[in-house]
Structure 1
């Protein structure tokens, strides 16, 4: 069968929606495969490269994938990788992945591309692994499709990027297993990073009353006013759509909530994330009531206090993204801290061999956080 890989056009939108329905059913949680207006915007977006594969009778649409970035960002996200059930095993997923990465890295505009990969089978993990992506961790209960699914985080870096990471002097001791796993996976070193005791947890609020404002256009305008440039916040490819603030207006927490997928990303806080650190418990509880079964935050590896604060509220480091953010000539590492209020069931999770150490690391960290240590009486 002859296959043609080409850029998607707006004329493909109807066929693309049928493709994503055939692959994921009615529960696909992103607008990329379901919302015609958003799909049209992405297809025409200069920061997005969307490719489709055609083959078979009548050059039918057989596969689709995109790499999406945003102005000013040097990080891309591989998303929407889908191959029609009739074409599985044909190599289309790999062809689309390699074509996208080759074209985007050739522009010199990206330092790395990441992908969140399903763990219902090893196939998607092997597709990205064969094309330069390496595992960075596990995101348990990250999305609600037909049921709660865990995702795996993978990334592919441009040449030389990993060699320019900014050194981190110390991290909380609970991160040691994850750092060792990343060292083995990517061949990088944290030999100069000490593991030390966590910082004291910030005091909790005397009152836990929070207001949640869910008005996406207002929140977006407010966010842009508070953070006119990206130097004071970093959460790539997530635009806040909700705002949480206490009764006295002492701070504002910005977050992206996806009710369809049942997940939430904490983006940042004003005037400074440290001001809201003691409110992580009521913030998470409010988001859970709003439909987020999974809440995550990106925390710089060199922010010992923030990592300690999240860990004190039950957030677990499930993934580490080395060289995620460029800063001058260097790159900063980030930790994905997550908390799920729903039961984690790893029985249906299928992980390829390179990902297994990350799953083991997460299970160990979860046990250390949530299972009481036993005292043996002599």
Structure 2
């Protein structure tokens, strides 16, 4: 079968929904493959490149993938990679991924593109690996499809970006296994980064009520009023749809809550992350009560105090994203780390990891054990 790669058009939306249903069934958790209004918006979005593979004989859709960006950012997210079951083994996934990277990274539009890849088989990992993506970590229990699944984080950088990383003087010691893994697999250098003890956990926050507001339009408008500069967000490419606020107004936490996939990303905090750091436990508890089984935050590797606060509340350093964001007043790039916490039992028996990803799984298991398993002492 021969195919051509074209930009997706609004006329493709019905066929795209059928494609994603054929690949993922009724549980696909993103609007890109299920919501016609959002799909139409993304197709028209100048910061999103959405390609489809068309059968030259029938005109039907054999595959689809997109790189999604946003104004003011040079990071892209590879998403929606799907090949119809009848057209697999023909290299379509690789062809779509390669063409998207050629048109974004290759033309200098973006500094890096990342992808979260399923771990139910090694195939998706090998597709992105063959197209220049390298593993950055494992995100256990990250999404609920037909069952709870773990994902892997991969990224590909434009030439020269990784060479312009801003040095990090120190990190909390529990992050060291992840950094050492990145040194071995990515060739980045943390030789001059000191490992120091995490800062002491804060005391219990003053009693008070934490309110959660789920009003996507209101949350989005308020968020953009508070954070006109995308550089203040924890997490790019995530528009918050939920707001957690202390009843005395001392802080606001903006989150992207996906009810279908039962996961949440913490996007930003006002007036700053430190204001909410003491409240991570009630924040996470509130999100768990709302049905979230997994919470993540993308934090600057250089912010020792903020990382310590997340570590104190049971978050695990799960993935590293070196050279993720450019300096605001220089030509260097800052490293970030993904901190995750799951409220559900982790079961790695169904996880399939390709060899390059295995060290990250080992680092996660080590970090989880150090956090949640007691140190046993033998009495003399």
TM-score, normalising length from structure 2? 0.98
**Partner SS, residue 260 of structure 1:** coil
Q: 8 Å contact 1:267–1:297 — kept in the other structure?
A: yes
The corresponding residue for 1:142 is 142
Tell whether 2:46 aligns with 1:46.
Answer: yes
- Distance between the aligned counterparts of 1:288 and 1:94, measured in 2? 37
SS of 1:59's equivalent in the other structure is coil
CA contact (8 A) 1:176 1:195 kept: yes
Instruction: Give the stretch that moved more between structures: 188-197 or 198-207.
Output: 198-207
Q: How does 1:126-165 map to 2 (within 5 A)?
A: 126-165=126-165
Cross-structure match for 1:289: 289
| CA–CA separation in structure 2 for the residues paired with 1:61 and 1:222 | 39
| CA distance in 2: counterparts of 1:149 and 1:258, whole angstroms | 15
Structure 2 unaligned segments of length 5 or more: list them: none
Alignment-derived partner of residue 334 in structure 1: 336
For 1:18-167, list aligned pairs within 5 A. 18-55=18-55, 57-167=57-167
Q: Deviations over 1:121-158 (max 9, x none)?
A: 00000000000000000000000000000000000000
Q: Secondary structure at the match of 1:106?
A: coil
Aligned residue pair count: 378
Instruction: Report if aligned partners of 2:230, 2:236 keep a CA contact under 8 Å in 1.
Output: no
The separation in 1 between residues aligned to 2:58 and 2:95, in whole angstroms, is 20
CA distance in 2, matches of 1:237, 1:102: 20
Q: 205-214 or 128-137: which moved more?
A: 205-214
Q: Give the Cα separation in 2 of the matches to 1:123 and 1:51.
A: 20
> Is the contact made by 2:243 and 2:255 (CA closer than 8 Å) also made in structure 1?
yes
Cα deviation 1:219-259 (Å, max 9, x = unaligned): 11111111122243341110111111112111111111000
SS at match of 2:201: coil
Does 1:343 pair with 2:345? yes
The residue aligned with 2:196 is: 196
How far 1:106 sits from its partner (Å)? Answer: 3.1
- Distance between the aligned counterparts of 1:120 and 1:329, measured in 2? 39
> Structure 1 runs of 4+ off > 4 angstroms?
none
Q: CA deviation at 1:208?
A: 4.6
Q: Is the 8 A contact 1:208 1:282 kept in 2?
A: no
Q: How far apart are 1:55 and its partner, in Å?
A: 2.1
CA-based RMSD: 1.0
Cα distance between partner residues in 2 of 1:322 and 1:142? 21
Aligned counterparts of 1:28 and 1:256: Cα–Cα separation in 2: 17
Distance 1:248 1:49 in 2: 43
How big is each residue's C-alpha offset from its partner over 1:171-224, in whole Å with a ceiling of 9 and x where there is no partner?
001011100100111111100101010011223212152010111111111111
* TM-score (norm: length of structure 1): 0.98
